[in-house]
Structure 1
Amino acid sequence: MRMRPVLIFDGDCGFCTMSVGVVQRLVRPPCEAVAWQHADLASLGVTAERARYEALWVTPDGRVYGGAQAVVKILLSAGGLWSVVGAVLTLPPMRWTAHGVYRLVANRRGRLPGGTAACAAPGATRHRA
Structure 2
Amino acid sequence: METSTFVYDGDCAFCTQCADFIARRIPTGARVVPWQFADLDALGLTVAECEEAVQWVGSDGVRAAGPDAIAKLLAGSGPVWRVAGAGLRFPLVRVAAWPVYRWVARNRHRLPGGTAACSLPQEARERLYGPAGRPTTEA
TM normalised by structure 1 equals: 0.87
Q: Distance in 2 between matches of 1:41 and 1:97?
A: 29
Q: Give the structure with the larger helix fraction.
A: 2
AA aligned opposite 1:98: A
CA gap of 1:32–1:66, structure 2 versus 1, over 3 A, is same
Matches within 5 A, 1:55-74: 55-74=54-73
Higher RCO, 1 or 2 (CA under 8 Å, sep at least 6)?
1
Deviation digits for residues 103-126 of structure 1, max 9, x if unmatched? Answer: 11111101112212221265xxxx
- Look up the match of 1:92: 91
Name stretches of at least 5 consecutive residues in structure 2 with no aligned partner.
122-139
Matches within 5 A, 1:25-44: 25-44=24-43
Question: In 2, are the aligned partners of 1:109 and 1:121 still within 8 Å (CA)?
Answer: no
Deviation digits for residues 17-70 of structure 1, max 9, x if unmatched? Answer: 000111221112211111111111011000000101111111113221100001
Q: Distance in 2 between matches of 1:121 and 1:62?
A: 30
SS in 2 for 1:30: coil
Question: In 2, are the aligned partners of 1:53 and 1:121 still within 8 Å (CA)?
Answer: no
Larger radius of gyration: 2
CA gap of 1:88–1:43, structure 2 versus 1, over 3 A, is same
Q: Distance in 1 between matches of 2:97 and 2:120?
A: 18
Q: Distance in 2 between matches of 1:83 and 1:71?
A: 11
Name stretches of at least 5 consecutive residues in structure 1 with no aligned partner.
123-129
| Number of equivalenced pairs | 121
Matches within 5 A, 1:42-53: 42-53=41-52
CA gap of 1:101–1:60, structure 2 versus 1, over 3 A, is same
